[in-house]
Structure 1
Amino acid sequence: MRSYGIYKVKEMYQPFVIGRERLLYDLLKEDGQQNDCMREVDYLCDRLEEELINDAIMTNLGKSFTSIECRDGEYRLTHPVKGSIRISRSSYSLNVYCDGSRMLDLDLFVALSGSDDRFFAVMDGHGEWGWLKPVKYNHLRMREENVFLGI
């Protein structure tokens, strides 16, 4: 079983995080091991909106699964060939458990990245992390330069 913590980086800090993903990984990995949210995570990440997450899961992801259960904010999706996904939400992260094919992970990442491009995933225990949607560096760099120049 694979487990992930998925966070949404604040738009204003995304350009700063680009190229420093390892540091973000270390911070989020530590946050995932604690019961309370760390102040740094509160500073760098947006709170997850229930409607956005529900829409991404039910609309984008739900159509390819045969069974979808939602109880007390926790989702369980099952596919006869790929396996199952269990998703719970805290203030700043989605806690995801995938049991089965890696295609489950890909399906989830595509569904979430379709709703926003600032999601960052940390895979517990494996040292894997990354943006769910590839970052267009030039676009962010241009915007960052414009901010510094006052344009």
Structure 2
Amino acid sequence: MGRWLESASREVTDWSGSSWAFGLAALVILVWLVTGPIFGFSDTWQLVINTGTTIVTFLMVFLIQRSQNKDSLAIQLKLNELVAAMKGASNRLIDVESLSEEELRLLHRHYAKLVAMAKKDADVGESHSIEEAEARHVRKRRSRAEGQGAPAQG
């Protein structure tokens, strides 16, 4: 049953995003408008379009959510593969989507700090952790200070 539902929802999702689906929806609205005078713009005439659009909208919400969930998972897997394959990339980012909002904010602050530090460097790709970047900055400051004869600040 699960495979059939998945297959059916995939087919409907693909079809509903097509030009044919848009054309059919426009045709239904046109027929409804043309039949308005025939039915005297009655409450029943209005109820038909209201009920139909409500049902279609209700079902489409679930199809759209299913499609977004699948696309999001596929994108996350592709990004995880890229992170895992890149030399120097932090593997802490693999499966980052499963972190809590607070953990994501903490990670965002981590990378914001790295960006600020990298702007001071000529080679922005040299480090991948705050600890390494801070240690490198301390070494650079000491080396510059020693070269100028001033005490190092660190």
TM range (shorter): under 0.3
Which protein is richer in helix relative to its size?
2
The two structures have a TM-score, normalised by structure 1, of 0.24
Which protein is richer in strand relative to its size?
1
Whose RCO is larger (CA < 8 A, sep 6+)?
Answer: 1
Question: Which structure has the greater CA radius of gyration?
Answer: 2
The two structures have a TM-score, normalised by structure 2, of 0.23
